[in-house]
Amino acid sequence: MSQISDEDRQALRDGFARYLEAEADEKKLRSAIANDRGYDEAIWQQMAEMGLLGIAIAEDSGGVGGGAIDVALVMEEIGKKLLPVPFLSTCVVAADMISRFGSEAIQQDLLPKIAAGELVISTGGSGDFVPLSDHDLSLSAKSSAADWTLNGQVSFVSHAGNADYHLLGLQEDGVDSAYLVKASDAVSKDRLITNDPAQRLFKLHLSDARAIKLEVLDADGIGQVRMRAIAALAAEQAGAMRAIFEITMDYLRTRYQFGRPIGSFQAIKHMAAELLVEVESATSAALAAAKALDANSPDAAKFVSLAAFTCKDAFRTVSAQAIQMHGGIAYTQEHIAHLYWRRARAGLPLFGSSDAHREQYLKSREAA
């Protein structure tokens, strides 16, 4: 349950939106994509100053005590600007995992640093809390007294390039385990080629890398982490599709053909109307999922599944149609529409395919 009032929530969102409008334009986005870090550190630190990096962290751990709805509103604004910051991996997944399963000492050490923007945590491996699981990973954990060491390789680790810790999951015989590995000489990495230039995925090579094991990973707790991450991703996709829809509508109003705006043509009007329905439906689904989680609704899993496949599919449709409505210019990567399309494609496999979520949703409806 969120500890943030409606008034403060709206103020946080409005302030963040104004800041991004002024400081996160397309030029900044492309510059961030091109640098080694993959995002603008100044924006990341400003998010910390605004309290956004600790939005999902309890007040007694240095955060602001927000809930799923607060995370969703932040993620919507991140999505609108395609902001390539490690918010999902660090401030949603890792923060939640540490809050639920980390020892008191670990929580006191790491959570305030996350909220202050002093710590970036990548996520990878295998398990329900991992955004993009590596089903072919060759990773093993070995205990020695109170210490754990990891050996092997794991791919598709998000934002591992400049991460201070790596949160790696292992799933053996249906049982989840998770380890925090500090960036060190025992961990080397190779950047992977991705369809979305802003998506930073790495392959890690671990050789006797010391690790902290998060204890007692109960199924209900892991399920909550997964659902909250999926709801956050859905909100990001809803924000992104709204942004590219509005960019496209502006183009239709200003691009003239045969002496009139192309947006006045009936066929284009029908396409635009259908896309608006997609955008509004996805936004409603994402917010409904976040509200269900905050209310501890028994139907939360159903709402999350609905938001997952609705937002994945709608973002893919809206971004693809945006390219069609822009014409040939949008087929080039130099046009912003191309970046939205790539982000939509990159998000399809995260936390499971839309088909898998649709199947889960239908099963929950049948069981009701």
Do residues 225 and 199 share a domain? Answer: no
Beta strands in the chain (DSSP E): 121-125, 138-144, 147-158, 165-172, 175-182, 187-191, 201-214, 256-257, 260-261
Show the CA angle centred on residue 86, arms to residues 81 and 87, nearest 5°. 75
Tokens of 64: 């602001």
How confident is the model at residue 305, as a pLDDT? 97
Burial class (CB in 10 A: 0-12, 13-18, 19+), 256: exposed
Residue 104: inside a domain? yes
DSSP one-letter code for 196: S
Same domain, residue pair 69 and 196: no
Residues 172 and 137 in one domain: yes
**Residue numbers of the domain that contains 277:** 220-367
Cβ atoms within 10 Å of 338's Cβ, excluding its own: 18
Given 94, 115, 136, the domain boundary residue is 115
pLDDT > 70? residue 262: no
Q: What is the pLDDT of residues 217-235, one digit of tens each?
A: 888 999 999 999 999 999 9
Please report which confidence band the pLDDT of residue 263 belongs to, taking 50, 70 and 90 as the band edges.
low
Higher per-residue pLDDT: 137 or 86:
86
Is pLDDT at 338 greater than 70 in this prediction? yes
User: To the nearest whole number, what is the mean pLDDT of the chain?
Assistant: 91
CATH code of residue 144 = 2.40.110.10
- 130 torsion bin: left (phi>0), alpha (psi -120 to 50), beta (else): beta
Domain shared by 61 and 176, yes or no? no
Same domain, 224 and 363: yes
The answer to whether position 224 is within a domain reads: yes
Whether the pTM exceeds 0.85: the reply is: yes
Strand 121-125 to 165-172 pairing:
parallel
**What mean pLDDT do residues 300-305 have?**
96
Residue listed under structure tokens 């072919």: 136
Last residue of a domain, one of 80, 115, 150: 115
The answer to whether residue 283 sits within a structural domain is: yes
- Any domain includes 1: no
Mind listing the pLDDT tens digit for each residue in 115-138?
Answer: 999 999 999 999 999 999 998 889
Q: Do residues 289 and 304 make contact, with C-beta atoms less than 8 angstroms apart?
A: yes
What is the domain-level CATH number for residue 286?
A: 1.20.140.10
Same domain, 190 and 232: no
Confirm whether 136 is domain-assigned.
Answer: yes
Instruction: Name every residue whose Cβ is closer than 8 Å to that of residue 114 and which is 6 or more positions away in sequence.
Output: 53, 54, 57, 62, 90, 91, 94, 95, 121
Is pLDDT of 48 > 80?
Answer: yes
Shared-domain flag, residues 248 and 359 = yes
Which pLDDT belongs to residue 264?
63
Query: Residue 258: what pLDDT?
Result: 79
Residues 297 and 363 in one domain: yes
Quickly list DSSP for 217-234: --HHHHHHHHHHHHHHHH
Could you give phi then psi for residue 50, rounded to 5 degrees?
Answer: -80, -5
Residue type, 8: D
Name the residue among 302, 303, 312 with its Cα closest to residue 285.
303
Give residue-wise pLDDT tens across range 172-200.
777 789 999 999 877 899 999 998 988 99
- Reply yes or no on whether the pLDDT at 238 is more than 90: yes
Same domain, 195 and 149: yes
Within a domain: 211:
yes
3-state secondary structure of 147: strand
| pLDDT at residue 1 tops 70 | no
Query: Would residue 103 be called left, alpha or beta, if left means φ above 0 and alpha means ψ between -120 and 50 degrees?
Result: beta
Query: Do 252 and 361 have their domain in common?
Result: yes
Count of other CB atoms within 10 angstroms of residue 37: 16
Contact present, 297 and 364 (Cβ < 8 Å): no
How do 187-191 and 260-261 pair as beta strands?
unpaired
User: Taking Cα atoms as reference points, which of 98, 106, 14, 109 lies closest to residue 52?
Assistant: 14
d(CA 362, CA 148) in angstroms, rounded, equals 41
Domain check: are 284 and 353 in the same one? yes
Instruction: Return the residue matching tokens 């909100």.
Output: 235
Counting the structural domains of the chain, the total is 3
Please say if the pLDDT value at position 107 is more than 80. yes
Co-location of 244 and 204 in the same domain: no
Q: What is the pLDDT of residue 283?
A: 97
Closest CA to 101 of 1, 203, 218: 218
Q: Which of 217, 248, 273 is the last residue in one of the domains? A: 217
Averaged pLDDT for residues 310-332: 90
